[in-house]
Structure 1
Amino acid sequence: MAPQRFHEQFDQIQRSLPDVPLAMGPDDSAEFIYERGVVLARDGEEARVVEDTVRDHFTATAGLVGDHVRRAGPRTNRSGITRIQVGDPSDRGPGIRGGGDDAVAGALRALRTAEGRTGHRLVSRNHVVSIAVNACPGDEPVPVAHTEQPNPSPAPGTYDPASAVGVLVVDTGLMHDYRSYPPLAHTDGDLQIRETDDDGVLQQYVGHGTFIAGLVAAVAPNTAVTVRGTLNDAGAILEDAFGEALFDAVEEGGWPDILSLSAGSSNGRVDGLLGVEGFMRALRGQRTLLVAAAGNNASATPFWPAAYATQPDYADAVLSVGALRGDGEYGACFSNHGGWVRVYAPGERLTSALTGFDSPVPYIYQHSTYDACRYGFGYACTCRSPRHNGVLSDGTGKPDQVMFEGYASWSGTSFATPVVAGLVAAHMTAHQETDPRAAARQLLEKNVEFAEVRGAHVPALLPATWRPVPVGPA
């Protein structure tokens, strides 16, 4: 059964994608969200095989009509993916909450025999890729006084445009006042489309990309950071569109040295996301290092594209990042984990730029904190502290409102990821290394820090300017 917060986030994402009926999968678990009534296949012969096989299967079974199987807006794309609609379009009304999707499940079953013959996957759900715990960061941002120092605080060093390491952040866009934070003076990219609602209240997720850019620039001053607002819609995008958006992001300014990505999805498989397969093949032929978040579901299930890090074809090209709790000694309660996570970094209660530098901006909490950690941890984690009531939760109290005046404290593998991206960039500058993949290898080889995550000792990268935060007892 999906936890309450997942249902809250499901509703939030559905509102951000009003024309896309969504379902939870598998069944009513909290593993992933996907587009109802649509499957993905590779262009060409494989798409034809999927169409014909699913149509024959549905025609021979009760309850589903084979005539409804057809291409869903046929088009060519760089990802090499075709969307195929399955089932009756009249059953695809928006706002359907939870549960599975019989049409998509039937399509997946229909292809099992054919996939057994070919030895590889032919069809996939169209998953929602998001910056999302169970579809959102580890917590919601908390205001930090502008008199306090960011954490990590800006590292010593200067910006040199001739040698600056190029870092591309694919996330939400930049807030209008981001240049008020000095480390972001050399940052460029897309502005957030809409920051506040009609009442002037800060919308959920909108400062995510600015916060991330601030972390990269603080850890590595000699970086040219570009932010692309690919995930402006509540941090969510469909898998097939995401593959295309990644191509757009890297082609607009050229392939960067480092691509920092704090988004992804599980899919219940160990062979990646079909919708980003084309982009990953293109990445393999470049020199770019993809630093990707491991996700915030407290799960060992592979989270893509981070989990490509342990596939032989991508081991050099992808670095997957999990989050440590505030003291840096153990894994954060929300962090995904497992052998596919290559390294961990501080990701709980980090402080960076958000918004409100020009004038204070109100924010209303969306989720209520819990009485106890929802993952069973015994320290004062972000599940329960600091306390607040949220408008989406079923609590009886009035939602809490706060004011942001520049800085925020925030938690998630979303933020451990740019810390690692910054450390790789700083290593490149310090050692005059021009190959980001070689820099990542060197950084991990020379690293002597370790932390404990679910009983395992794992590599940990701790910035020199990062200050441990006492976690306290539950």
Structure 2
Amino acid sequence: MAPERFHEQFDHIQRSMPDVPLAMGPDDTAEFLYEKGVVLARDGEEARLVEDTVRTHFTAAPDLTPDHVRRASPETNRTGVTRIQVGDPGHGDRSGDRAVAHALRALRAHERRAGRRLVSRNHVVHIAVNACPGDEPVPAPLAAGPNPAPDTSPYDPDTAVDVLVVDNGLTHDHRAAPLLARVRGDTQLGERDEEGVLRPYAGHGTFIAGLVAAVAPNTDIIVRNTLDDAGAVLESEFGHRLFEAVDRHGWPDIISLSAGTSNGRTDGLLGVDAFMRELRDRGTLLVAAAGNNASATPFWPAAYADLPDHADAVLSVGALRSDGEYGACFSNHGPWVKAYAPGERLVGVLTGFEQPVPYVYQHSTYDACRFGFRYACTCRHPRHTGLLSERQESTGGTAEKVMFEGYAQWSGTSFATPVAAGMVAAHMTAHKERDPRAARRQLLAATADYAEVRGAHVPALLPPTWRPVPVTRLAPPA
């Protein structure tokens, strides 16, 4: 049986959030995760309307009673969003939540009259390799060096571009890697388990910071540990954490964000509305990952790049495969993805270089690409057996353990994103452009490189120091 990554990651995220019962959605598929028994509404009149409407609606539902409807968090906050409990979060299973579905249906008529959304699930926002992993890191030899290779242009503190990486924290020994000597920020909590084994997705923020530094050396990079718990956070908390990150750092030139969620809609995330409105009015450019579901469904916040009010402030980034000619098998796609960058088998810094660090794979590779592609993609190569897959399949097999000595090879739109952010920053330095949004427009207008993604020709942002890696094309199955 092939491993079911979404279900494996559901278990992984649920263990990291033991006090938050989760379900998969929408009700007939598994595209995202959300909190059971709770909906979100804007504070004030809209929250009261949601409560009153749901309370009335539930009087006719045999499994729900009016006293189920109560505010889970009565205080207001900068996100302007309230959690409203609409049912018993212990009811049902991971496949869905009837109470939340009833609440969403109850507000449809009000939403049509209001001309906008009034209520939402409380989605789980996750690192873009997490609930939809491109792959897991693979040890890379020290002698080969990173790819993209470090640009040797000089660093000038007076003109350096300010880049904020919102992710999980830095590995404790990251400064031992020369590429990250000037990178500052939070250290990741719980980087290793009690046996010294690297935890899943530890080093994610470190790897991203190294990619920015390699592509754009004239940068001041700060990493914030915003997504530490398995790279996952509830939507109701995500907006607050984004505000917290910029409050601590100040609004930077560029934010690199390799996290998000789909929600089955085309109008954004209720929980980050306030942050996105403030971002729109600042000069900051948000560079955000398009996600790894191989889907055209919008992935937020990246898909804000396709909304007229936010298009200038957001660059959404998909992943190219290792030759740079086509889209990677896992990359989300569609008109809301505005650019693509190398995102398959990049090589960068995972940990410092003080001592080798063990890692146990979580997911088993597939016998064939799970998205139907016919090249040697990360779904199937390099082959390994993972712990979560073994638990799902109950085969009694042994998960594979590897050792990292500093560099890793890793794939995902998570990593195409900092490559694109670095290219915007490098353009700012090369052209003495202080406005990152203007640099975004100039860079996309000037690019002469294009790739093919699902039959469409799309802008390809290829760093000069990136080395394409030829792919192996596979014959169709017999």
TM bucket normalised to smaller: over 0.9
Letter aligned with residue 374 of structure 2: G
Counterparts of 2:110 and 2:472, CA distance in 1: 54
- Structure 1, residues 105-126: CA drift from partner, whole Å, max 9, x if none? 0000000111111111000000
1:304 aligns with 2:337: no
Letter aligned with residue 403 of structure 1: M
Percent of residue pairs identical: 73
- Structure 1, residues 2-28: CA drift from partner, whole Å, max 9, x if none? 971100000000000010000000125
SS in 2 for 1:387: coil
1:6 aligns with 2:6: yes
SS in 1 for 2:387: coil
1:402 aligns with 2:398: no
Question: C-alpha displacement at 1:199, in angstroms?
Answer: 1.1
Alignment check: 8 A CA contact 1:173 1:227 kept: yes
Question: C-alpha displacement at 1:82, in angstroms?
Answer: 0.5
User: Which aligned pairs between 1:2-151 and structure 2 lie closer than 5 A?
Assistant: 4-27=4-27, 29-88=29-88, 91=90, 98-133=94-129, 135-151=131-147
1:472 aligns with 2:468: no
Counterparts of 2:17 and 2:116, CA distance in 1: 31
1:290 aligns with 2:286: yes
- Which residue of structure 1 lines up, in the alignment, with residue 204 of structure 2? 208
- Which residue of structure 1 lines up, in the alignment, with residue 371 of structure 2? 375
Counterparts of 1:71 and 1:221, CA distance in 2: 48
Q: More displaced, 184-193 or 23-32?
A: 23-32
Counterparts of 2:20 and 2:61, CA distance in 1: 26
Alignment check: 8 A CA contact 2:69 2:85 kept: yes
User: RMSD of the alignment, in Å?
Assistant: 1.3
Of 160, 174, 180, which aligns to 1:178? Answer: 174
- Which residue of structure 2 lines up, in the alignment, with residue 386 of structure 1? 382
Q: More displaced, 423-432 or 2-11?
A: 2-11
Counterparts of 2:118 and 2:404, CA distance in 1: 48
- Structure 1, residues 105-156: CA drift from partner, whole Å, max 9, x if none? 0000000111111111000000000014571430000001111110000012
- Structure 1, residues 167-210: CA drift from partner, whole Å, max 9, x if none? 00000100011111212111101000111111111000111000
Gap runs ≥5 in structure 1: none
Of 223, 228, 231, which aligns to 1:232? Answer: 228
Question: C-alpha displacement at 1:98, in angstroms?
Answer: 2.4
Alignment check: 8 A CA contact 2:320 2:343 kept: yes
Counterparts of 1:77 and 1:410, CA distance in 2: 37
Alignment check: 8 A CA contact 1:133 1:297 kept: no
1:434 aligns with 2:434: yes
Question: C-alpha displacement at 1:73, in angstroms?
Answer: 2.1
Counterparts of 2:232 and 2:129, CA distance in 1: 13
SS in 2 for 1:147: helix
- Structure 1, residues 350-404: CA drift from partner, whole Å, max 9, x if none? 0010015100000000000000000000000000000000011125531110000
Letter aligned with residue 455 of structure 1: G
SS in 2 for 1:319: strand
Counterparts of 1:415 and 1:185, CA distance in 2: 20
Question: C-alpha displacement at 1:159, in angstroms?
Answer: 1.5
Q: Cα gap change, 1:189/1:356 in structure 2, threshold over 3 Å: closer, same or farther?
A: closer
Alignment check: 8 A CA contact 1:168 1:228 kept: yes
Letter aligned with residue 86 of structure 1: V
Counterparts of 1:387 and 1:396, CA distance in 2: 18
- Flag as ranges the 4+ runs of structure 1 deviating above 4 A: none
Aligned length: 469
Counterparts of 2:325 and 2:334, CA distance in 1: 17
User: Which aligned pairs between 1:270-289 and structure 2 lie closer than 5 A?
Assistant: 270-289=266-285
Q: More displaced, 265-274 or 386-395?
A: 386-395
SS in 2 for 1:202: coil
SS in 2 for 1:458: strand
Alignment check: 8 A CA contact 1:428 1:434 kept: yes
- Which residue of structure 2 lines up, in the alignment, with residue 199 of structure 1? 195
SS in 1 for 2:122: strand
Alignment check: 8 A CA contact 1:295 1:322 kept: yes
Counterparts of 1:396 and 1:445, CA distance in 2: 54
Alignment check: 8 A CA contact 2:132 2:291 kept: no
- Structure 1, residues 17-46: CA drift from partner, whole Å, max 9, x if none? 010000000125221000000000000000
Counterparts of 1:53 and 1:365, CA distance in 2: 47
- Which residue of structure 1 lines up, in the alignment, with residue 455 of structure 2? 455
Counterparts of 2:448 and 2:139, CA distance in 1: 34
Counterparts of 2:99 and 2:7, CA distance in 1: 22
1:322 aligns with 2:318: yes
Letter aligned with residue 343 of structure 1: A
Counterparts of 1:43 and 1:402, CA distance in 2: 49
SS in 1 for 2:442: helix
Of 157, 178, 197, which aligns to 1:161? Answer: 157
Alignment check: 8 A CA contact 1:28 1:98 kept: no
Counterparts of 2:346 and 2:396, CA distance in 1: 30
Question: C-alpha displacement at 1:88, in angstroms?
Answer: 2.9
Letter aligned with residue 137 of structure 2: P
SS in 1 for 2:165: strand
TM-score (norm 1): 0.97
- Structure 1, residues 425-445: CA drift from partner, whole Å, max 9, x if none? 000011110000000000001
Alignment check: 8 A CA contact 1:165 1:222 kept: yes
Counterparts of 2:357 and 2:129, CA distance in 1: 24
Letter aligned with residue 75 of structure 1: E
SS in 2 for 1:313: coil
